[in-house]
Amino acid sequence: MEMVIKPIDLPGVSKQRPIVIAGPCSAETEEQVLETARSLSAKGIKIFRAGIWKPRTKPGGFEGIGIKGLAWMKKVKEETGMYIATEVATKDHVFEALKAGIDLLWIGARTTVNPFAVQEIADALKGVDIPVLIKNPVNPDLELWIGAFERLYGAGIQRLAAIHRGFSSYDKKIYRNLPLWHIPIELRRRMPDLPIFCDPSHIGGKRELIAPLCQQAMDLSFDGLIIESHCNPDAAWSDASQQITPDVLDYVLNLLVIREGTQTTENLSQLRGQIDNIDEQLLELIAKRMRISREIGVYKKEHDMPILQSPRYNEILEKRSNIGEQINLNTEFVKAIFREIHEESVRQQMIIMNEQA
């Protein structure tokens, strides 16, 4: 679907990168909301976020303060002049949020996965002109994410933006949600006019990862940041470990290096030329490797041998990663490349096995 995206364009909010949205994970009490908002406003933050309805992994946790929190958000708007933003997951949420004068809505990661829920929100927004930010689905599915934009766009919402909040994985290591930067990068390629925000709080899950993730997002030309900030993070009722005080937020933002250079220097194009060349060679070599692999497939078929030879596969991964290490290539990276190559070889050989004689 061809979409003509309009800028979010909020009067008084600078269009310079990064556009910042900040506020607590959840609205908890009137004091917490107002105190956090006042401090953020004093630091020049113009858009305040707070979750009113919280999708929690298990029941029994804090599921959001509900409608009464909207009145506190309204106070924030009246007192500080900030724009206010919250998450909606149902048509009732949309109805209540609009009634309370919420200026921006976002759709959460657990909602984006569900086309019925996204459609319900889109239908509830028909005829309303409000910016809607859509978080990536929890699973790394770009089409599902784009589908959500199409649903909102189909309802007449043109001021759209994306929030990259990372993708959940079974084994959590450094990140709470894996960044998989290539997905928002591909989104940018597919929808070049769509502003993209990074949510370093939900990607990192830890305070100390917020600054480096913000910098990475800026280096990848993201337009904005949505960061969880709480007047007393340790005491937060949800996501305590990933929230920072307004003071720390200000510090993090001031340290960001924003590189706006768009000029391609001659040197850079020379280097890029070299890269293009190398990539062509890599592709040719891979094609050659696949041809040989198909020959092996023919041999295995003629000799009734199974395709998969596990010892051989392990040997390839081990040997290649050892060679890689000697020339300063990251072991995991090398293994990942050969897993992909091997998978494609197996696929090619399966085609051969299944060919009629």
Sign of CA dihedral 250, 254, 255, 257: positive
From the list 7, 72, 85, 74, the residue with the least C-alpha distance to 46 is 85
The answer to whether residue 230 forms part of the interface with ligand PEP (CB under 6 A) is no
Which ranges of the chain does DSSP label H, i.e. alpha helix?
Answer: 30-42, 68-80, 91-99, 109-112, 115-124, 142-154, 182-190, 200-204, 210-219, 246-255, 266-302, 310-326, 331-354
The option from Mn ion, ligand PEP, none interacting with 109 (CB < 5 to 8 A, set by class) reads ligand PEP
Regarding 104 and contact with ligand PEP (CB under 6 A), the answer is: no
Choice between 25 and 102, CB closer to ligand PEP: 25
- Give the number of C-alpha atoms closer than 13 A to the C-alpha of residue 36, restricted to the C-beta side: 34
How far is the C-alpha of 261 from the C-alpha of 257, rounded, in Å? 12
* Residue with smallest beta-carbon separation from ligand PEP: 108
214 contributes a contact to Mn ion by CB under 5 A: no
Give the residue, chosen from 109, 122, 162, 218, that forms a contact with ligand PEP under the rule CB under 6 A.
109
CB of 25 to ligand PEP, least distance (A): 5
25 binds Mn ion (CB under 5 A): yes
Q: What is the CA radius of gyration of the chain?
A: 24
- Contact window for ligand PEP (CB under 6 A) among 106-114, 150-158, 314-322, 341-349: 106-114
The helix (run of H) or strand (run of E) holding residue 291 is helix 266-302
Among 23, 64, 108, 131, binds ligand PEP (CB under 6 A): 108
Q: Which stretch binds Mn ion (CB under 5 A): 17-25, 42-50, 288-296, 349-357?
A: 17-25
Q: How far is the CB of 166 from Mn ion (least distance, A)?
A: 12
Q: How far is the CB of 80 from Mn ion (least distance, A)?
A: 22
CB of 110 to ligand PEP, least distance (A): 6
- 239 sits near Mn ion (criterion: CB under 5 A): yes
Footprint of ligand PEP on residues 3-42 (CB under 6 A)?
Answer: 25
Nearer to ligand PEP, 122 or 226 (CB): 226
By CB under 6 A, is residue 164 in contact with ligand PEP?
A: no
CB of 14 to ligand PEP, least distance (A): 23
Give CA–CA dist 116/124, Å, rounded.
Answer: 12
- Write out the DSSP string of 6-24: PP---TTS--SSPEEEEE-
Q: From CA 94, how far away is CA 336, in angstroms rounded?
A: 43
Q: Which two tokens stand for residue 29?
A: 């009490």
- From ligand PEP, Mn ion, none, which one binds at residue 165 (CB under 5 to 8 Å depending on kind)? ligand PEP
Compute the least distance from the CB of residue 51 to Mn ion, in Å: 6
* Window 134-163: contact mask with ligand PEP (x via CB under 6 A): -x----------------------------
Spatial distance between the Cα atoms of 283 and 297, rounded to a whole number of angstroms: 21
Among 165, 207, 230, 320, binds ligand PEP (CB under 6 A): 165
CB distance 317 to 340 below 8 Å: no
| Closest residue by Cα to residue 23 from 6, 8, 36 | 36
CA distance linking residue 112 with residue 119, whole number of Å:
10
Residues that bind ligand PEP (CB under 6 A): 25, 51, 55, 108-110, 135, 165, 202
